[in-house]
Amino acid sequence: MKQFSRHLRSAAILVAIASAASAARAGEIPLTNPMSGDEKAIKEGKSWFRNTCSPCHGGRADGAGERGTAADLRVFNKGFRKFVDTVQHGKDTGRTMTMPAWGAVLDEKTIYQIGAYIETLAIEGANWKEGVAQH
């Protein structure tokens, strides 16, 4: 019984460590996109966006994609961290069409590149440029 209790305690500690590590990684997403204004990143992001995101969000990120109406990313106003989180984990929109999780498909660098491209399309009401360091 003592050995079982010790194993159970060890398992609980490992779960706590894994949860803390996961939370620490989530906290590493910067407030602003470190690739903002980087021409190479924007070019790469545009390519990824056109091939991955445009079927739902439209070629101009206006939400008018061939698969239906999705979010107009030109006016995305929830900040860079929320953008990354939504791309990685998806979002239940409450409608038939939901935002799928892309975290297992797109790495963080690619998501940042896509964000850098979308920022170039931002129109009034978006908060992509808030707090972005000048290059």
> pLDDT (tens digit, 0 to 9) for every residue of the chain, 135 residues total?
555 444 445 444 443 344 334 444 545 899 899 999 999 999 999 999 999 999 999 999 999 988 878 889 998 888 899 999 999 999 987 777 788 999 999 999 999 999 999 999 988 878 865 544 444
pLDDT, position 10: 46
> Measuring CA to CA, which residue among 89, 78, 69 is closest to residue 118?
78
pLDDT, position 130: 54
> Which amino acid type is present at position 113?
Q
Q: List beta partners, residue 69.
A: 64
CB atoms within 10 A of CB 30: 11
pLDDT, position 95: 74
Structure tokens of 115?
């964000």
Q: pTM here?
A: 0.73
pLDDT, position 123: 86
SS3 4: helix
> Measuring CA to CA, which residue among 24, 126, 134 is closest to residue 80?
126
**CB 81, CB 127: distance < 8 Å:** no
pLDDT, position 87: 95
pLDDT, position 19: 39
**CB 41, CB 112: distance < 8 Å:** yes
pLDDT, position 125: 77
